[in-house]
Amino acid sequence: MVPANFGPWSKQIITGDEVLNLLYLIDTNKIVTQVDPEILFPGGVNSESISIIPSNQSLYLAGSRGEIIKLPASYFKNYSGDLMIHDGAERGSINKLLIVHWDAASSNFVSWRVRCTLSCPEGAAFAPIELPVN
């Protein structure tokens, strides 16, 4: 569920369709709203997964060749509570991780692209423990 401080998306379930390049919000009345991901990133986002960024947890990504990369918890220390949208770069899109923040002062979403060196990562997950990587 999207955090309560996320403007028009607050307290809704968010999910994505990586094939159609769309995002969906589902409210407590089960009403589904389609969201154009171009508001977050030019060209949109083929969302592989969407997570709330937790405090003090590293992010692990699985590559298409079996490699695992770790982005340390310290990288995300200023983004706790924001959204992380993972785009695996299928169908010719740009491989990206987006951090999405609601800026209440400007009533607007702000997003940052995190550079990722993996080609077509197939999974992204935060972990409450530190894991070895290869």
**Can you give the pLDDT at residue 43?**
76
* Position 134 pLDDT exceeds 80: no
Average pLDDT for the chain: 85
Amino acid letter, 87: D
Domain positions in the chain: 7-127
Binning pLDDT at 50, 70 and 90, where does residue 71 land?
A: confident
Helix (H, G, I), strand (E, B) or coil at 114: strand
Contact 30, 79 (CB under 8 A): no
pLDDT of 121 higher than 70: no
Task: Give the model's pLDDT for residue 31.
Answer: 96
Round to whole Å and give the CA distance between 131 and 38.
Answer: 34
Q: Could you give the C-alpha distances from 47 to 62, 80, 116, in angstroms and in order?
A: 15, 20, 15
Q: Minimal CA–CA distance to 7: which of 96, 83, 66, 62?
A: 83
* pLDDT tens digits, one per residue of 77-92: 999 999 998 886 665 5
State mean pLDDT over 15-36.
90
Residue 53, pLDDT above cutoff 90: yes
